[in-house]
Amino acid sequence: LAASRPRPREVGVRLGLLPPGPLNAITDVPGVRVGHVSLVEGESVRTGVTALLTHARDPFLEKTPAAAFVLNGFGKMAGLAQVAELGVIETPIALTNTLSVPTAMDALIGWTLDRHPDVMSVNPVVGECNDGYLNDIRGRHVRVEHVLAALEHATGGPVAGGSVGAGVGMSCYGHKGGIGTASRVVADGLTIGALVLANFGRAEELRVGTVDVGRQLAAGARGRQPSPSSLENEPGGRAVQARDAGRRDDPRTGSVIVLIATDAPLDARQLGRVARRGGLGLARTGSPSGHGSGDFILAFSNAEPIPHRPSSTTLTRHVLAEDGPSIDRIFAASVESVEEAVIDALFRAETMVGRDGHVREALPWPIATATRLK
Amino acid sequence: LAASRPRPREVGVRLGLLPPGPLNAITDVPGVRVGHVSLVEGESVRTGVTALLTHARDPFLEKTPAAAFVLNGFGKMAGLAQVAELGVIETPIALTNTLSVPTAMDALIGWTLDRHPDVMSVNPVVGECNDGYLNDIRGRHVRVEHVLAALEHATGGPVAGGSVGAGVGMSCYGHKGGIGTASRVVADGLTIGALVLANFGRAEELRVGTVDVGRQLAAGARGRQPSPSSLENEPGGRAVQARDAGRRDDPRTGSVIVLIATDAPLDARQLGRVARRGGLGLARTGSPSGHGSGDFILAFSNAEPIPHRPSSTTLTRHVLAEDGPSIDRIFAASVESVEEAVIDALFRAETMVGRDGHVREALPWPIATATRLK
Amino acid sequence: LAASRPRPREVGVRLGLLPPGPLNAITDVPGVRVGHVSLVEGESVRTGVTALLTHARDPFLEKTPAAAFVLNGFGKMAGLAQVAELGVIETPIALTNTLSVPTAMDALIGWTLDRHPDVMSVNPVVGECNDGYLNDIRGRHVRVEHVLAALEHATGGPVAGGSVGAGVGMSCYGHKGGIGTASRVVADGLTIGALVLANFGRAEELRVGTVDVGRQLAAGARGRQPSPSSLENEPGGRAVQARDAGRRDDPRTGSVIVLIATDAPLDARQLGRVARRGGLGLARTGSPSGHGSGDFILAFSNAEPIPHRPSSTTLTRHVLAEDGPSIDRIFAASVESVEEAVIDALFRAETMVGRDGHVREALPWPIATATRLK
Amino acid sequence: LAASRPRPREVGVRLGLLPPGPLNAITDVPGVRVGHVSLVEGESVRTGVTALLTHARDPFLEKTPAAAFVLNGFGKMAGLAQVAELGVIETPIALTNTLSVPTAMDALIGWTLDRHPDVMSVNPVVGECNDGYLNDIRGRHVRVEHVLAALEHATGGPVAGGSVGAGVGMSCYGHKGGIGTASRVVADGLTIGALVLANFGRAEELRVGTVDVGRQLAAGARGRQPSPSSLENEPGGRAVQARDAGRRDDPRTGSVIVLIATDAPLDARQLGRVARRGGLGLARTGSPSGHGSGDFILAFSNAEPIPHRPSSTTLTRHVLAEDGPSIDRIFAASVESVEEAVIDALFRAETMVGRDGHVREALPWPIATATRLK
């Protein structure tokens, strides 16, 4: 799936000012592992699971400092209240479709219980987007074993993108969306990486760096400039999605989940600041964050996990000094990584035919790049 | 289950200044319905489900204004991000044990999908406490049909309390806890009702109104005044729970879920103010809200639901004027209802024997009341 | 001013389970200094300033980890947005009346600029309550030099309480309020101290530990049980205040500012958890936190300040391990300290005659204590 | 001041998809009035005040629904806690320099007291940025009468921009910044307007719509591509500012205050959603929201003020139905208005010489536009 289309930099599209890591992926942050299970069955199952492990050891025994920012809370991401209170994640992170969140939670609970015969409480973190345009989402086709398989497959190295894992059925800016990733290296050798599950935005809004691809495509397709009134009528937009969906007229499609990883030594408060920058990265791609979109950003640092059973009453922690220049570089790197991860998802995702013959076209990037994208 | 022990007012314990409604229950708010399914099987299944419907009509088509306050977020309550964004609940509310949250979510999703063939997105609201001391929580014995049965059983009228529904396996202030409820009527005939799933607090901390029951019981039991050092060693406390639990040494027991209902016309922002008062009601019963406790309060108003499909672009809403005296009465009623609901749970809950022979004794209220409780 | 009335423990009133520090004051936390300037002039100036320094060194060069919780935000406390973002305080904390907040801010700015010829930005932290019932608050009688004098007077050792400093004109639970303080010592020799500016609550609501003093006083005064309808009509309540105030009919009186200090090594997230417990301490004294009350809690730790100019890009920090028992003791100590600080303010405050002949009576504690307070 | 340079649309720069209002200014929202007082005296006073009235009537008697979002809280904006609690503003809004916030608060308090002989409490709302690079900010040259004059001058109609009012001494993206404004009209004739006090961003980051002006200018100036390492060394950036400032080495310069006005009937929760979109508008101009920047967004609706003294216990309110398309148009309009308002500030601001001979150059827009800006 989704191997043949190039990533943005492979066709000369460079976004931002900072250099990417070797893989230009969230796995450039040492220890981060990603796994996908893609479910493409028959004519209407177009969904999947993406799992991410924050570091190479046991996530429950070595909890990962984390914080979330909710840009638009029309979504069902699970586990954030405890993350806000304690400042840590204690499970892998699973991404899937909206109605399969409970299944993914159940899987993460079982995965943790299996490894820890004493544990009676665990906080699964699961993000979701709604793939109901292409996928028979009401069928809830994701099963616990799919989530466990995604965890088992999780690995470092290059991250498959586009229509894979949780991204199989997703749409973005009126085109095929899905999984995207990118990274940045800042001074002192610190790395910031982002992974997005991109399922948001109207076609006309899309900006790729400094090119208004959305408007250009609209103009090309229609032989005219888009007018404001077309906001409700764009080809791949929400209103049309809803109309196409026949009796399934729910406007609550859309959403994006952003995961930001770093090996910079940041505490939960600082990671909350990073998470807010994730929203700025999304903004650069053009969307105003629609009402019906669940836009969640979760940032974590695996520099120094927090032990489940501390050996003393006081922990010695290392945290970035905020009055030096590093924090600004990390903020910039976060914005750029998220921006590029969204574009990466769009570039890599292949055209997909799904439920009820619905088609979501891949972004016609050669047309766009042919004009001004380099 | 739990029918034979009296409620606080039946033995002369009156808490607060405001008068209760006819049932002294959350169901005094017209339209609110509550149902329980209790699972007591063999020697180690001690759990269940409590379901609440916010009004008498379809919760998805007529969404209920709501807001939450997280007093201590060491918990897994689901659905709150969307409640914060949109200010409404669109499903029934289910309460259950910590590890069965996904099952309850799945049940609420299915329940909604079954009623709405078009719906592709729904935000289930589920609260939880950890009943792992008495219950084989790791067995995840709650099934979807249990949740659906609790919904089916939901009715107005008197609300069963103590060791019922989600409360079957809960502990509170070192004694048997569970479900409690209370209500208050304020001027203009408005009603505020609370329902709690009470599973929090150390034995010594308990206050019943103006009586320090916890200290008195401790003094009686030990023939001496409790010393500060006993904070870690009280009979039913967390540390002992953990020790008793043998290999199951997880400190994350405890928690309380508070639901506050009203027919006062409050919008989401105002309900957020009410929810914060729920924490004050809990405080009056003595607990400082322990680290390991997931203390969540959800307040809703069913005075004027919000249509899923509005018929015009502007809604006409009625909201309480905050500069009159009514809001203060509602705040006071919220505090009192929550305080009394916790005590109601303690008074009504029967002694329970559960997993591994663990015993949680009922509050020995006659001893306490014999001294000074009237 | 306010020297002759005893503190609660001096008349045998013991609140909570944990032992107080040597002074039972916020100054039991090493380095904390408090200073008051009381303004009692003519018939209508009844106001003042209370200043607190978080440690013994320069507050700008060594910033103090801190976090706030807003229990009810009908107030004008200044500086909290930056505290939330950066997790530190960088000035002394000043308390004064509502309309003198800008003056106190200006004074803190000037105080900082004077010590730092390079500084062009500083975030003053100022809390306020409304003393308009006794004080000609509209006259804005606090001047910059009063604030500077309070800072200059600031010292460790016993803390004057009752009608001093910012507390001169304050009312609490229908009686004379003002400044109160208390502390607790927990295991490992850690200290938690609270200082309150208490100006909140209705007379009937007052609870002193396990005694419903408010109801007893109301019953004594009227020879009858208070009825719910009297909630709007109690002698010292807000409605009456407003009515008494003649043309000054503003309902926005009330409020309480709570400062919680500790030498426990807590980071900003953890201090936010402590601050939330401050609200629980207030709740134990009886108030449901009225609509018109600005109830703000600010918690700080001076265990390990954060340097303004860090010498390296990474700081080494020591923070309390949250999975040990210490955090629960600190939470309990916070609740108890705040509870007792409010009662301390009530016990120590003397009857005050002020603006337009308004009288606010001291709490008739001997009557109350004569009954059941020991 | 600042009259000779054109606004973006006057030179063909069109940002976004939606049409502006007749003035392309915040005053397109009926009733909104803006006034400036500019202080340019001698060689080092470069500061001022901008005042905004939310509607044409008394702001205290008819309170304006409002909500804020703090994108980066390294700032001193005053009044937000009460706005969050009550969902209203009750004074005009004043903008000025960081160290003059208390003076502006004092002026708003006095302004309110003068109009309301009964009032004893009022919540002034004041935003700030740090103009210390050009202005002798430590001199605190703004006086109460300057704020009152700005209020008196406030009027509808065209809004002066660039180096006026609070914008006199501000810098933005390494060039001269200050006041900017823009508006959008959406379906149903609703208007959204933004006014910014722009003092943020590094030179290289600037994007004007789809043109990376910052990079182009950097490349032009240096004859080479900017490298990541230049992030710390750009000509007008923070680090250099600080160094230039000689002994005044405070890194806390930067900041942006965004005011978003609308006549759409939005309640406080909905306005909070709009405020979050303000951050997305800022992001489109290129900045990742630096650590030292106080980035605050305040959104208000003057469609239906809330009476200070309601005539009944229940208010009838009209609020936008969120499940229709209007809310998305309003979100898009908010993003676009804020984006264009920042660019407007940059286009209109003239080169300014100030303190210690510091110079902040106007954006060399003709060069930029000559390339690709149309």
What size, in residues, is chain C?
A: 374
Q: What is the mean pLDDT of residues B159-172?
A: 98
pLDDT at B37 over 80: yes
Q: In terms of DSSP bridges, do strands B175-176 and B171-172 run parallel, antiparallel, or are they unpaired?
A: antiparallel
Q: What is the pLDDT along chain A (374 residues), one digit of tens a residue?
A: 445 799 999 989 999 999 999 999 999 999 999 999 999 999 999 999 999 999 999 999 999 999 999 999 999 999 999 999 999 999 999 999 999 999 999 999 999 999 999 999 999 999 999 999 999 999 999 999 999 999 999 999 999 999 999 999 999 999 999 999 999 999 889 999 999 999 999 999 999 987 888 888 888 765 543 333 333 333 333 333 333 333 333 444 589 999 999 999 999 999 999 999 999 999 999 999 999 999 999 999 999 999 999 989 999 999 999 987 899 999 999 999 999 999 999 999 999 999 999 999 999 865 545 444 43
pLDDT at B374 over 50: no
Give the tens place of pLDDT for each residue, D313-356. Answer: 999 999 999 987 899 999 999 999 999 999 999 999 999 999 99
Name every chain A residue with its beta carbon within 8 A of the beta carbon of B248. Answer: 117-120
Give the tens place of pLDDT for each residue, B295-349. Answer: 999 999 999 999 999 989 999 999 999 987 899 999 999 999 999 999 999 999 9
Q: Which residues pair with C96 in a beta bridge?
A: C128
Q: Which residue in the set C17, C19, C279 is minimally distant from B280, CB to CB?
A: C279
Smallest CA–CA distance, residue B20 to chain A, in Å, is 33
Whether chain D has a CB inside 8 Å of the CB on B317: the answer is yes
What is the number of other CB atoms lying within 10 angstroms of the CB of residue A84?
17
Cα separation, D202 vs D130, in Å, equals 15
User: Which chains are within 8 Å of B by 3+ CB pairs?
Assistant: A, C, D
Cα separation, D294 vs D98, in Å, equals 10
Q: Is B329's CB within 8 Å of C231's CB?
A: yes
Q: Is C280's CB within 8 Å of B277's CB?
A: no
Whether chain A has a CB inside 8 Å of the CB on C268: the answer is yes
Chain C (187-206) residues lying within 8 Å, Cβ to Cβ, of chain D: none
Q: What is the pLDDT of residue D239?
A: 36
Q: Is A314's CB within 8 Å of C319's CB?
A: yes
pLDDT band, very low/low/confident/very high, at B188 (cuts 50, 70, 90): confident
Q: Is C280's CB within 8 Å of B273's CB?
A: no
Is B171 one of the catalytic residues?
A: no
Give the tens place of pLDDT for each residue, B199-208. Answer: 999 999 999 9
The residues near C370 (Cβ < 8 Å, ≥ 6 apart) are: none
User: Among residues B295, B334, B337, B344, which one is catalytic?
Assistant: B295
User: Among residues B44, B255, B301, B337, which one is catalytic?
Assistant: B255
Cα separation, A48 vs A39, in Å, equals 5
Q: Is C228's CB within 8 Å of B17's CB?
A: yes
Read out DSSP for A90-158? -S-EEEEEGGGHHHHHHHHHHHHHHH-TT------EEEEEB-TTTS-GGG----HHHHHHHHHH-BSS-
Q: Which residue in the set A74, A75, A120 is minimally distant from B138, CB to CB?
A: A120
Q: Which residue in the set B276, B281, B329 is minimally distant from C71, CB to CB?
A: B276
Which of A61, A313, A322 has the highest number of chain C CBs within 10 A, making it the mutation to test binding with C? Answer: A313
Taking the CA atoms of B266, B267, B268 and B273 in sequence, report the sign of the dihedral they define.
negative
Cα separation, B300 vs B263, in Å, equals 9
Q: Which residue in the set D82, D138, D250 is minimally distant from C74, CB to CB?
A: D82
Whether chain B has a CB inside 8 Å of the CB on A77: the answer is yes
Q: What is the pLDDT of residue C251?
A: 44
Whether chain B has a CB inside 8 Å of the CB on D328: the answer is no
Q: What is the pLDDT of residue C236?
A: 35
Name every chain C residue with its beta carbon within 8 A of the beta carbon of A86. Answer: 322
Q: Is A231's CB within 8 Å of D289's CB?
A: no
Give chain C as a 3 state SS string: CCCCCCCHHHHCCCCCCCCCCCCCCHHHCCCCEEEEEEEEECCCEEEEEEEEECCCCCCCCEEEEEEEEEEEECCCCECHHHHHHHCEECCCEEEEEHHHHHHHHHHHHHHHHHHCCCCCCCCCEEEEEECCCCCCHHHCCCCHHHHHHHHHHCECCCCCCECCHHHCCCEECCEECEEEEEEEECHHHCEEEEEEEECCCCHHHCCECCECHHHHHHHHHHCCCCCHHHHHCCCCCHHHHHHHCCCCCCCCCECEEEEEEECCCCCHHHHHHHHHHHHHHHHHCCCCCCCCCEEEEEEEECCCCEECCCCCCEEEEEEECCCCCHHHHHHHHHHHHHHHHHHHHHHHCCCEECHHHCEECCCCHHHHHHHHCC
Tokens, residue A339: 């921006």
Is D163 one of the catalytic residues?
A: no
Whether chain A has a CB inside 8 Å of the CB on D339: the answer is no
Name every chain C residue with its beta carbon within 8 A of the beta carbon of D81. Answer: 70, 73, 75-77, 80, 294, 296
Q: Is C204's CB within 8 Å of B325's CB?
A: no
Read out DSSP for A193-240? EEEEEE----GGG--BTTB-HHHHHHHHHHTS---GGGGGT-TTSHHH
Give the tens place of pLDDT for each residue, D166-181. Answer: 999 999 999 999 999 9
Cα separation, C43 vs B10, in Å, equals 53
* Whether the Cβ atoms of residue D183 and residue D337 lie closer than 8 Å to each other: yes
Q: Which residues pair with C94 in a beta bridge?
A: C51, C126
Whether chain B has a CB inside 8 Å of the CB on C283: the answer is yes
What is the number of other CB atoms lying within 10 angstroms of the CB of residue D316?
10
User: What percent of chain B has pLDDT above 70?
Assistant: 88
Give the tens place of pLDDT for each residue, D6-50. Answer: 999 998 999 999 999 999 999 999 999 999 999 999 999 999 999
pLDDT band, very low/low/confident/very high, at B223 (cuts 50, 70, 90): low
* Whether the Cβ atoms of residue C131 and residue C139 lie closer than 8 Å to each other: no
Smallest CA–CA distance, residue B315 to chain D, in Å, is 5
Which of D74, D328, D329, D372 has the highest number of chain A CBs within 10 A, making it the mutation to test binding with A? Answer: D328
Tokens, residue D331: 């979100």
User: Among residues D136, D263, D267, D295, which one is catalytic?
Assistant: D295
* Whether the Cβ atoms of residue D361 and residue D3 lie closer than 8 Å to each other: no
Name every chain A residue with its beta carbon within 8 A of the beta carbon of C312. Answer: 321
Name every chain B residue with its beta carbon within 8 A of the beta carbon of A75. Answer: 81-82
Considering only alpha carbons, which residue of chain D is nearest residue A238? D325
* Whether the Cβ atoms of residue A166 and residue A95 lie closer than 8 Å to each other: yes
pLDDT at B228 over 60: no
Name every chain A residue with its beta carbon within 8 A of the beta carbon of D284. Answer: 283-284
DSSP designation for B23: T
Q: What is the pLDDT of residue C177?
A: 97
φ/ψ (deg, to 5) at C125 = -110, 120
Q: Is C76's CB within 8 Å of D75's CB?
A: no
Cα separation, B17 vs B185, in Å, equals 11
Size of interface B-D (CB pairs under 8 A): 63
| Residues in chain C with pLDDT values less than 50 | 1-2, 224-252, 368, 370-374
Give the tens place of pLDDT for each residue, B46-90. Answer: 999 999 999 999 999 999 999 999 999 999 999 999 999 999 999
Q: In terms of DSSP bridges, do strands B93-97 and B125-129 run parallel, antiparallel, or are they unpaired?
A: parallel
Name every chain A residue with its beta carbon within 8 A of the beta carbon of D276. Answer: 71-72, 279, 289
Size of interface A-D (CB pairs under 8 A): 113
Q: Which SS3 state, helix, strand or coil, does residue A51 take?
A: strand
Whether chain A has a CB inside 8 Å of the CB on C85: the answer is yes
Q: Is A280's CB within 8 Å of D289's CB?
A: yes
Q: What is the pLDDT of residue A324?
A: 77
Q: Is D132's CB within 8 Å of C120's CB?
A: yes
Q: Which residue in the set C87, C309, C323 is minimally distant from A269, CB to CB?
A: C87
φ/ψ (deg, to 5) at B302 = -105, 20
Smallest CA–CA distance, residue C370 to chain D, in Å, is 38
Smallest CA–CA distance, residue A36 to chain D, in Å, is 31
Tokens, residue B264: 């006062």
Whether chain B has a CB inside 8 Å of the CB on D121: the answer is no
Whether chain C has a CB inside 8 Å of the CB on A315: the answer is yes
Which of B309, B317, B318, B328 has the highest number of chain D CBs within 10 A, making it the mutation to test binding with D? Answer: B317
Indicate which residues of A carry an active-site annotation: 255, 293, 295
* Whether the Cβ atoms of residue B88 and residue B54 lie closer than 8 Å to each other: no
Name every chain C residue with its beta carbon within 8 A of the beta carbon of B322. Answer: 291
Give the tens place of pLDDT for each residue, B82-135. Answer: 999 999 999 999 999 999 999 999 999 999 999 999 999 999 999 999 999 999
pLDDT at D369 over 80: no
pLDDT at B369 over 80: no
Residue C143 burial by CB count (10 A; 0-12/13-18/19+): exposed, middle or buried?
A: middle
Residue D8 to residues C372, D214, D340, Cα–Cα distance (Å):
75, 16, 8
Cα separation, B210 vs C25, in Å, equals 26
